[in-house]
Structure 1
Amino acid sequence: MESSKPNIIPGFSMFFFIVISFIRTSTSQTSNYVGDDCHNKTPQTLTSSYKANLNQLLTRLSADASMSKHFSNTIIGNTTNAIVYGLYDCRDDVAGYFCQFCVTTATREALQRCPNQSSAVIWYSYCILRYSNKNYFGKADMTPIWSGGGEKNVSDPTEGKKGESFIRNLIEEATEEAKRLSAWGEFTLGGGRTRYALVQCSKDLSNVGCRQCLEAMLNEAIQCCEQKQDWQVGSTTCMIKYTNYMFYQSQSSHTANKGVGKSKALIISASVLMIVAVLCFSFYLFRRSKRKRDETPSESTPVVYELSQTDSSLNTDLPTIPLLVIQQSTQYFSEDSKLGEGGFGLVYKGTLPDGKDFAVKRLSQTSGQGSQEFMNEVIFIAKLQHRNLVRLLGYCMEENEKLLVLEYLPNSSLDSHLFNDENRKKLDWTRRLNVINGIARGILYLHEDSRLRVIHRDLKPSNVLLDYEMNPKISDFGLARAFEGLQNQHDTRRIMGTYGYMAPEYAMEGLFSVKSDVFSFGVILLEIICGKKISSFYVSEHGQSLLSYAWNLWCEGKCLDLMDPILEDSYVENEVLKCIHIALLCVQEDAADRPTMSTVVVMLASDTMSFPMPSRLAFSVGRKVTEDLSTSKDSKDASINEMTLSSIKPR
């Protein structure tokens, strides 16, 4: 059994996992909100000094989050009846502006859900906020304990002990001298079954306190949940989660995504002739195998299977390609043919006898998520044909193999150019503008012009591939969803995608629509302009997220300061300013305020069109809390956080 070596995840940050079934106040709550604990449901009489100090504390925590700090604790006041202790923690794998948005949301919601209370805790998927008039810093709470398990029992009676042993290893990692206070990883049970687990403590605990808390949670889990495939146990200061699916996002997975982008980027652009060549070659091998059907098969004299029948549930017009053809073209999936590792499997380069190249995405045989992605890609890409979308040439489902045969492109993905110091020099302004327009047209086709009305849900530079002439093609439809009829919004309790590119309503509430893709496009547009990746921008010298930095420059009338210095000799000022304006409109916090992709395409093409001014951006600016802590029906909006900026127009 192996576990990953985690970076520190600040404490409290994933406690939403432990209470999702236990402290949720109603079944209509969003997928990101988990619960709250007001400690004392009876309204209290708070002194004016305490209210003022609490207000100041929440403002300070929100300000710290706006500077992309993932953890902060502070004390306001110096008298017995007015002192307030407060902290927030965000998951370490969450981008800085996600942390900011979560914390500012928590400061507002905590006051609404726990009105006139001296102590409160509120949990979200990405952060936790806590304040009290008593000092709780560094104290491990083993009670109360929340516990629960899924409906499915384990099929292997020994799994419980194996899982227990693995979790004890994670506890060792979390409480070693480095003071990680968290650890996560996966282990294989055999038979293609994988389990995932995470242990987590509040970051202000000592290693000793963390170990004591986690050991108490594990003992509880042994009693209540060990024979379940999914379970979670936790207290206020630590938690353990155990599941049969990947639920955490680590820094290592982001690193892997870079490789995914590079490998996928190598996948694209043979002509339609390849299909003909494949079929002709298949027919030739089939006829030859019939003549030699009495011979003993081997790698030198391979058996050729007949074309597999298309699964009726797929209902596509794509040809199914014999497994043997793909095996021979990739030298039986040799290391020399491997291009890289994708999200749910390996990617190989194949070459036909006529010299045509193609790429094969080989889905992991043990990945349930991979199977879902496979079905999605076959169904969606087969029905989508556009110059700015990657082409799926065929697929294979034989002998437990799931293979996607794709176009091959040697020019890599957008992220491998945009975020590489050398490769970025090849992207002058003309090429970048061409990429921007191509991505926009591709998304517009998905939203309005295709046979299906499709939401991609995972738009990012690594999923934009470049052809021989550096034209963009959107790829990877594993998370895509289609609308039906007049339906214009979906909701889900399982948030999937890539942090940094998720729209706030999707990340926080599980709601996604075409406007979710518009948000992702706005983020990509800003990345193309500045040449920096959103997930790493917040640790730069600016001390801000990419969105907040762009917004502040806009308000100061200094938009060109955002531009990649490499563009100095090639940019067209009015075009750069227009693209920044459009990007800020796309990343507005309220989905209703964002333009549709049809409007975006028109704006990109126009030199005279008057654009609306962007308003509040998602995760972009700090907020202040009003002094009135009342949340009665008559004053429901009194505690809504206000923007600190006095102007939203550039000078």
Structure 2
Amino acid sequence: MELRLLHLWRFWILWGCLVFWVFGVYGRGVTQVLLSPVSGPGPIFQPLVPMMAPMESTAAASVVSPPSSSSEMDIVATEKDTHHWVKKLVLSTSLISSAAILIMLALFRFCFYRRKNRNKSRYLNQSAAADSNSIKGFTLGPILSKFNSSKASSKKGSTGLFEYKLLEKGTDNFNETNIIGSGGFGSVYKACLDEGVFVAVKKLDDGGSDCEKEFENEIELLSKIKHPNIISLVGHSVNGQTKFLVYELMQNGSLETQLHGHSHGSPLTWPIRMKIALDAARGLEYLHEHCNPPIIHRDLKSSNILLDSGFNAKVSDFGLAVTNVNRYKSGTKLSGTLGYVAPEYILDGKLTDKSDVYAFGVVLLELLLGRKPVEKLGPSQYQSIVTWAMPQLTDRSKLPGIVDPMVKDTMDLKHLYQVAAVAILCVQPEPSYRPLITDVLHSLVPLVAVEHGGTLRATDPSTTPN
């Protein structure tokens, strides 16, 4: 459009100049000829002959004598009218040409500034996008200021793209001594990047299409989620067929390691366990109630609940998470971890937010009883924590005796019964009998101390163990 207007502008300029030249120079001669009573007008002015009265051709025709008759008076009037007509023609054409030139100049100026502003806007948008990518790449404050040089804008969401050499150096060439966890597709390493900033690096070995899908899913979802009880994805990297996910480092590892590792849950006091349960419930509630569309985690378990240095819990591992539940009806490939998967999902492939509630109930039983979700009884015989605990949870006289020895007799029995009741509701076989995660959250808040994010006062007499 701008190019076409530019060509029109040049045409109007040349046309205007031609008009001015013709009527400014040649037009003056035309006027003089029209006003001269010369007999026998040339062919150019032949149309004007009828306007002039017949004149006698004399040898002195070139000499103009004063008008002496009405015929000569008519000639003079006609000459005046012609002169007036030519002046009007010249003036009108000049004004039209000038107006056209001014309009084309204005259009050209508009197009020029429009193109200039468009280029400027494009440049600013590109700069803003680059700045946005460089900021969004790292969700942690310290890393933002220290590793701008180690990342680049990424096509995968808004996470940073790490250079493989930086991760290789930070993990001491992925030394086994730096392994802090393991998953279905690889191990998790502790890495020390430049200036002493620590992160966790999940190394995903080539696991085919499933591994690729989980890698993409993790980046897509975690790049959009920002919540204090959801793990922060710092960035990612790709080296050949091997892919890497970089997270904030959670110093106390996973809940599974704390409960079932060498410490057997000794650092986890009853107040801390209730805080962990509340944090995990808040993370799930955010996924179910505040994300649009809602997110079903589909693999909630104690190994995917990570703890920082203050035992603040964050839900992690979103490789199996889904947003379009309608795609996961009966006949779909089942995913999850044995002991945490809801019965209706195993039997019918039916997946809802209540599936996450069931898994949360299993985690709550782990915190309460200190037992694994599935325990081996023999060479080919296993027992789930739900099957084992359900008959005893409903008996108040037996409940205090099955509590984890690490926290036994350290809580008010009222609180113990209430937690047990919440867990029982969460692991109901029928999904419709299970509460929403919001209801679970509201039930746990009064059992958690104020300093841990709940509403329980330290001066409350009910906090005194019986």
What secondary structure is seen at the aligned counterpart in 1 of 2:407?
helix
Aligned to 2:146: 277
Equivalent residue number for residue 95 of structure 2: none
1:138-537 equivalences under 5 Å are 271-280=140-149, 282=150, 307=152, 310-311=154-155, 314=156, 316-420=157-261, 422-483=263-324, 490-536=329-375
Q: Deviations over 1:57-81 (max 9, x none)?
A: xxxxxxxxxxxxxxxxxxxxxxxxx
> Tell me, what secondary structure is at the counterpart of 2:162?
coil
The Cα shift of 1:526 comes to: 1.0
Distance 2:358 2:193 in 1: 41
Question: In the alignment, does 2:411 pair up with 1:581?
Answer: no
Structure 1 residue 567 and structure 2 residue 410: aligned? no
Do the aligned partners of residues 401 and 514 (structure 1) sit closer, same or farther apart at CA in structure 2, a change above 3 Å counting? same
Counterpart Cα distance in 1 of 2:241 and 2:322: 25
The residue type paired with residue 310 of structure 1 is: S
State the shift of 1:492 in Å: 4.9
Deviation of 1:502 after TM superposition, in Å, equals: 0.5
Equivalent AA in structure 2 for residue 376 of structure 1:
N
1:327-370 Cα offsets, whole Å, 9 max, x none, are: 33233334454445432123222212211111211211343322
C-alpha contact 1:452 1:482 (8 A) present in aligned 2: yes
Indicate the structure (1 or 2) with the bigger Cα radius of gyration: 2
Map 1:101-140 to 2 at 5 A. none
1:606 positional shift: 4.6
* Residue 605 (str. 1) matches residue 445 (str. 2): yes
Report what 2:435 is aligned to: 595
The residue identity in structure 1 corresponding to 2:337 is T
Deviation for aligned residue 1:495: 1.0
Alignment-mate amino acid for residue 344 of structure 2:
E
Between structures 1 and 2, the one with greater helix share: 2
The SS at the match of 2:416 is helix
What is the CA–CA distance in structure 2 between the aligned matches of 1:488 and 1:434, rounded to whole Å? 34
The structure-2 alpha-carbon separation of the partners of 1:538 and 1:529, relative to structure 1 and needing over 3 Å to count, comes to farther
8 A Cα contact 1:489 1:513, kept in partner: no
SS, match of residue 605 in structure 1: helix
SS for the counterpart of 1:557 is coil
2:140–2:234: 8 Å Cα contact kept in structure 1? no
Shift of 1:557: 3.2
Whole-angstrom distance in 2 between the partners of 1:553 and 1:584: 11
Alpha-carbon distance change, 320 to 591 in structure 1, aligned in 2, over 3 angstroms: same
Q: Distance in 2 between matches of 1:595 and 1:467?
A: 28
Match of 2:105 in 1: none
**Per-residue deviation at 1:510?**
1.0
Tell me, in whole angstroms, the C-alpha distance in 1 between the residues paired with 2:175 and 2:385: 41
CA drift of 1:427 comes to 1.2
Corresponding position: 1:546 with 2:415:
no
Please tell me the root mean square deviation across aligned C-alpha atoms, in Å.
2.6
- Asked if the contact 2:396/2:417 (under 8 Å) is kept, the reply is no
Residue 69 of structure 2 corresponds to none
Kept in 1, the 8 Å contact 2:328–2:349? The answer is: no
The 2-side partners of 1:452 and 1:276 are apart by 33
- When residues 501 and 458 of structure 1 are mapped into structure 2, their CA distance, relative to the original with a 3 A threshold, is same
Contact 1:430–1:570 under 8 Å retained in 2: no
> Do the aligned residues in 1 keep the contact of 2:230 with 2:314 (CA within 8 Å)?
yes
After superposition, give the CA deviation of every residue in 1:184-216 in whole Å (9 maximum; x if it has no partner). Answer: xxxxxxxxxxxxxxxxxxxxxxxxxxxxxxxxx
- SS of equivalent to 2:406: helix
Question: What letter matches 2:142 in structure 1?
Answer: L
Q: 1:418 to 1:331 in 2, by over 3 A?
A: closer
Q: 1:602 to 1:531 in 2, by over 3 A?
A: same
Higher relative contact order (CA 8 A, sep 6+): 1
> Taking structure 2 as the reference length, what is the TM-score of the superposition?
0.61
- SS of equivalent residue, structure 1 residue 394: strand
Residue identity matched to 2:419: C
Distance across 1 between alignment mates of 2:374 and 2:169: 40
| Cα distance, 1:278–1:510 mapped onto 2, change above 3 Å | same
364 and 441 in structure 1: CA distance in 2 versus 1, 3 angstrom threshold: same
Give a deviation string over 1:402-460, Cα, whole Å, max 9, x none: 21111112212111111246341211111111111111111111111134411111111
C-alpha distance in 2, partners of 1:562/1:323?
Answer: 49
Letter of the aligned partner of 2:362 in structure 1?
Answer: V
The 1-side partners of 2:169 and 2:383 are apart by 51
Question: Measured at CA, do residues 489 and 514 of structure 1 come closer, stay the same or move farther in structure 2, by a change above 3 Å?
Answer: farther
Structure 1 CA distance, aligned partners of 2:190 and 2:269? Answer: 30
Note closer, same or farther for the CA distance 1:488–1:599 as it changes in structure 2 (3 Å cut).
farther
Is the contact between residue 505 and residue 511 of structure 1 (CA under 8 Å) also seen in structure 2?
Answer: yes
Q: Is the 8 Å Cα contact of residues 538 and 546 (structure 1) preserved in structure 2? A: no
User: Structure 1 residues 538 and 472, CA, compared in 2 at 3 Å: closer, same or farther?
Assistant: farther
Q: What fraction of aligned residue pairs are identical, expressed as a percent?
A: 33
Q: How many residues align?
A: 306
